[in-house]
Chains A and B, each alone.
Chain A
Amino acid sequence: MSKYNITLPVSPNLRKNEPDITKVIRFNFSRRGALIYIAHLDMLRLFERALIRSGLKFVSSQGFNPRPLMVFALPVGIGVEVDNDLVEITFYGGPDTEQAADKLNASMPPDIRITNAHYEDRASGSIMAMVNSAEYTFMHKDLSRIVRTAMCGEVLNVTKGSKGKGGKVKDVDIKPLIHKLDFPDDNTIKAVFSAGSKNNLRPDLFLKALTTDSGFSLKNALDTVIIRNRIFLEGDHQVAEK
Chain B
Amino acid sequence: MSTVYIPRHILLSVEKPARYVGGEWNSVLKDVHDVYIRTALCFPDTYEIGMSHLGMKILYHMLNERDDVFCERAYMPWTDMMSRMKEDNIPLYTLETKTPLNEFDIVGFTLQYEMCYSNVLHMLDMGGIPVYAKDRKQDDPIVIAGGPCAFNIEPMADFFDAVFIGESEDQLSKFSDLYREYILRGKDTFDRDGFLAEAASSIQGIYVPRFYEVKYNDDETIRSIRAYSQDVPDVITKALIIEPDKAYFPVNLIVPNTEAVHDRVSLELFRGCTRGCRFCQAGFVTRPVRERDPGLLLDIALKSQKATGYEEIGLLSLSTSDYSGFKELASSLIENTEGTNTSISLPSLRLDSFTADILEKASKSRKSGLTFAPEAGTQKLRNVINKNISDNDLKDAMEIAFSGGRNTVKLYFMLGLPTEDDDDIDGISILAHDIVRSYWQIPGETRRRKPEITVSAAMFIPKPFTPFQWESQDQLDELYRKQNYLRDKLKSKYIKFQWHGSKSSVWEAVLARGDRRLSKVIYRAFQEGCCFDAWDDKFDFEAYERIMSEEGLDISFYANRKRLFDEVLPWDHISCGVSKEFLINENIKAHSGVTTDECRSICSGCGAAAFGGGVCFE
B-binding residues in A (CB < 8 A): 11, 13-14, 16-17, 33-35, 37-39, 41-42, 45-46, 48-53, 55, 60, 64-68, 78-79, 107-111, 219, 222-225
Contact = CB atoms under 8 A, between A and B. Distances in A.
Contacts of A11: 339
B470 to A, nearest CB: 48
A235 B259 CA distance: 37
18 contacts: A16-B339, A34-B257, A37-B20, A37-B21, A38-B18, A39-B258, A49-B255, A49-B309, A49-B311, A50-B309, A53-B306, A53-B307, A67-B341, A107-B309, A109-B25, A222-B12, A223-B8, A223-B9
Chain B interface, >50% SS class: loop
Contact of B309 (A35, A53, A224): A53
Contacts of B17: 37, 78-79
Interface of B: 7-9, 11-13, 16-18, 20-25, 255, 257-259, 305-311, 338-339, 341, 366
Contact of B11 (A48, A55, A79, A225): A79
Given A35-B23, A65-B366, A79 B311 contact: no
Contacts, number: 86
A111 to B, nearest CB: 5
10 cross-chain pairs, A with B, having the tightest CB-CB distances, nearest first: A34-B23, A49-B309, A222-B9, A52-B309, A34-B21, A53-B309, A37-B17, A38-B18, A13-B339, A222-B12
A222 B308 contact: no
B23 A46 contact: no
Contacts of B11: 37, 79
A136 B366 CA distance: 41
B341 A60 contact: yes
Nearest to A45: B259
B339 to A, nearest CB: 4
Given A13-B339, A78-B17, A109 B23 contact: yes
A223 B25 contact: no
B22 A79 contact: no
B338 A13 contact: yes
Given A13-B339, A34-B21, A223 B7 contact: yes
B341 A53 contact: no
Contacts of B310: 49, 52
Given A37-B17, A222-B12, A42 B259 contact: yes
Contact of B12 (A14, A50, A79): A79
Given A14-B339, A53-B307, A39 B18 contact: yes
Contacts of B8: 79, 222-225
Contacts of A16: 339
Contacts of B24: 109
A42 B258 contact: yes
B9 A219 contact: yes
A49 B257 contact: no
Contacts of B13: 222
A49 B23 contact: no
B106 to A, nearest CB: 25
Contacts of B22: 34
Contacts of B259: 41-42, 45
A52 B307 CA distance: 9
B18 A37 contact: yes
Q: Which of A34, A42, A109, A110 has the most chain B CB atoms inside 10 A of its CB?
A: A34
Contact of A49 (B21, B25, B338, B339): B25
B48 to A, nearest CB: 12
Contacts of A38: 18, 257-258
Contacts of A65: 366
Contacts of B9: 219, 222-223
Nearest to B341: A66
Contacts of A53: 25, 306-309
Contacts of A66: 341
B119 to A, nearest CB: 23
A38 B339 CA distance: 30
Nearest to A219: B9
A33 B341 CA distance: 30
Contacts of B339: 11, 13-14, 16-17
Contact of A48 (B18, B307, B309): B309
Q: Which of B12, B16, B17, B338 has the most chain A CB atoms inside 10 A of its CB?
A: B12
Given A60-B341, A79-B12, A42 B308 contact: no
